[in-house]
């Protein structure tokens, strides 16, 4: 029996023009785009570099990986933000980098690329059946938001750790953030994140904490097309965990954040593109494509809802530049103090964490939300799949057993 293809969400008309974009290009949108970019480029980019170096991959392989991970992500982000007028960030799977890190010691790079391509096929198949959207609709929002709270909580804790690492930098960033946030009239003109960024930059300069490597030069990354090898062992071990990571961890986060911000995310279209784009990422060395959770959260921290997509456009542009100049960009990012990156990410996550906790525990499904939060924060992998997925599984199961009345009330409210 032939399954009907799920309908793709219609694009927003009219498409934004240059005058509209320029009218709202600065202030909140620029600040959020910069903060989201620094978050996406610093730690994750350094992780790719560390994993590739530990596996003794040639420098050209690592550069191609970074090029595809960031340049293709930037292009897709520009497309989705423009077509749907929402800050929908497309990226690559950070947990996938962690999953395949040890695998690079055991499998040839080409076999892992084969596993990426198969994972993309699985994602595409699930998107074409429409199962992804139905599955996300079946999950109660408090349980999903509790998973998001559990995923983002470590970033808030790292903000506290930044005070131990470099108190002057973390203190300057926190003070600037609070000063901008305390006065509504000032906050409308200077976003707290921008104030924090500027305060941190001044503190970094004052403490001479920025130490770029000697002989730093501008270098561009050259993409390489790799021929995949389809190894049964690598496919069985990695393709299913990678597909689950994309659909049940990243994409659910990203869609829930957009819904919580008041947008109707194009779930079918975005999941479809994640599956279709993953093979292209893969043949240039990168792990699968995802809808980004933290970046979407940062892009929605502040500013008028109708123009936040422009922060996504900034984010996509910065990703493209980072990918093209990846060798130089990684060297500069690595020279920034850890406290600066941790402080900026932590401050950006404060409104997101506040909203996630409020949505998780203000009404129904609170027991399931609590179980989800605890399992997610525990950060324990099972069968190679991260704790965020298992948080949803165990939280939903616990809620089904203990909070059956909440499910009945939810069904009645949805049917009325």
Mean per-residue pLDDT, 262-285 = 92
**For 41-55, 309-323, 378-392, 396-410, which range has the lowest pLDDT when averaged over its residues?**
41-55
Please say if the pLDDT value at position 369 is more than 80. Answer: yes
In angstroms, the CA 215 to CA 189 distance is 39
DSSP readout, 229-274? Answer: ---HHHIIIIIHHHHHHIIIIIIHHHHHHHHHTT----HHHHHHHH
User: What pLDDT is attached to residue 415?
Assistant: 73
Mean per-residue pLDDT, 26-37 = 90
Name the 3-class secondary structure at 36. helix
In angstroms, the CA 295 to CA 349 distance is 10
pLDDT digits (tens, 9 = 90+) for 65-107: 999 999 999 999 999 999 999 999 999 988 888 778 888 888 8
Please say if the pLDDT value at position 3 is more than 60. Answer: no
Determine what percent of the chain is predicted with pLDDT higher than 70. 98
Please say if the pLDDT value at position 240 is more than 70. Answer: yes
Please say if the pLDDT value at position 402 is more than 90. Answer: yes
Q: Are residues 312 and 270 in contact, defined by beta-carbon separation less than 8 angstroms?
A: no
pLDDT digits (tens, 9 = 90+) for 101-129: 888 888 898 999 999 999 999 988 888 88
Mean per-residue pLDDT, 277-300 = 92
Q: Are residues 387 and 147 in contact, defined by beta-carbon separation less than 8 angstroms?
A: no
Please say if the pLDDT value at position 205 is more than 80. Answer: yes
Mean per-residue pLDDT, 360-379 = 91
User: What pLDDT is attached to residue 413?
Assistant: 78
- 5 — pLDDT class (breaks 50, 70, 90): low
**For 106-110, 127-131, 263-267, 278-282, which range has the lowest pLDDT when averaged over its residues?**
127-131
Q: Quick one: 189 exposed, middle or buried, by C-beta within 10 A (0-12, 13-18, 19+)? A: exposed
**For 196-205, 239-248, 267-276, 399-408, which range has the lowest pLDDT when averaged over its residues?**
239-248
- 244 — pLDDT class (breaks 50, 70, 90): confident
Mean per-residue pLDDT, 255-271 = 91
Mean pLDDT of the chain: 87
User: What pLDDT is attached to residue 1?
Assistant: 40
Please say if the pLDDT value at position 132 is more than 90. Answer: no
For residue 311, give every residue at least 6 positions away whose Cβ sits within 8 Å of its Cβ, in sequence order, or none: 28, 29, 30, 32, 33, 36, 87, 299, 303
Please say if the pLDDT value at position 405 is more than 60. Answer: yes
Please say if the pLDDT value at position 4 is more than 60. Answer: no
pLDDT digits (tens, 9 = 90+) for 144-181: 889 888 888 888 888 888 898 889 999 999 999 999 88
**For 212-221, 265-274, 356-365, which range has the lowest pLDDT when averaged over its residues?**
212-221
Q: Which helix (H) or strand (E) holds 92?
A: strand 90-92
Mean per-residue pLDDT, 352-378 = 91
Q: Which residue has the tokens 């997610």?
A: 376
| Cα separation values, 197 from 29, 38, 167, 219, 345, Å | 14, 10, 15, 26, 10
Q: Which of 32, 399, 404 is nearest to 190 (CA)?
A: 32
Strands 289-291 and 90-92: antiparallel
User: What pLDDT is attached to residue 416?
Assistant: 65
**DSSP category for residue 71:** I
User: What pLDDT is attached to residue 159?
Assistant: 86
| Cα separation values, 394 from 142, 148, 153, 375, 386, Å | 14, 15, 19, 8, 13
């Amino acid at each position: 029996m032939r399954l009907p293809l799920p309908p793709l969400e219609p694009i927003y008309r009219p498409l934004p023009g240059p005058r509209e974009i320029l009218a709202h290009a600065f202030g909140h949108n620029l600040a959020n785009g910069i903060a989201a970019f620094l978050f996406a480029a610093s730690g994750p980019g350094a992780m790719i570099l560390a994993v590739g170096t530990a596996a003794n991959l040639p420098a050209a392989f690592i550069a191609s990986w970074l090029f595809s991970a960031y340049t293709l992500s930037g292009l897709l982000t520009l497309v989705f933000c423009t077509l749907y007028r929402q800050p929908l960030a497309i990226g690559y799977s950070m947990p996938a980098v962690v999953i395949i890190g040890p695998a690079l010691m055991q499998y040839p790079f080409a076999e892992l690329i084969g596993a990426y391509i198969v994972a993309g096929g699985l994602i595409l198949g699930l998107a074409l059946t429409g199962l992804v959207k139905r599955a996300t609709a079946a999950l109660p929002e408090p349980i999903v938001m509790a998973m998001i709270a559990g995923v983002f909580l470590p970033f808030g804790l790292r903000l506290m750790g930044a005070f131990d690492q470099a108190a002057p930098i973390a203190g300057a960033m926190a003070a600037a953030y609070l000063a901008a946030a305390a006065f509504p009239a000032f906050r409308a003109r200077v976003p707290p994140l921008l104030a924090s960024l500027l305060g941190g930059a001044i503190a970094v300069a004052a403490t001479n904490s920025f130490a770029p490597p000697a002989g730093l030069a501008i270098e561009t990354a050259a993409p390489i097309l790799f021929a995949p090898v389809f190894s049964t062992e690598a496919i069985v071990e990695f393709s299913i965990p990678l597909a689950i990571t994309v659909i049940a961890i990243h994409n659910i986060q990203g869609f829930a954040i957009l819904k919580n911000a008041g947008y109707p995310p194009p779930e079918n279209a975005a999941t479809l593109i994640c599956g279709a784009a993953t093979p292209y990422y893969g043949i240039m060395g990168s792990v699968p494509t995802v809808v980004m959770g933290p970046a979407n959260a940062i892009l929605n921290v502040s500013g008028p809802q109708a123009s936040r997509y422009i922060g996504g456009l900034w984010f996509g542009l910065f990703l493209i530049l980072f990918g093209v100049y990846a060798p130089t960009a990684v060297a500069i990012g690595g020279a920034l103090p850890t406290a600066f990156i941790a402080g900026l990410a932590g401050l950006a996550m404060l409104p997101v964490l506040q909203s996630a906790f409020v949505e998780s525990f203000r009404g129904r499904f609170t027991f399931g939300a609590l179980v989800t939060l605890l399992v997610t924060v525990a950060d324990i992998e099972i069968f190679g799949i991260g704790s965020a997925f298992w948080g949803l599984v165990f939280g939903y199961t616990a809620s089904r057993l203990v909070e059956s009345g909440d499910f009945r009330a939810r069904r009645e409210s949805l049917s009325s």
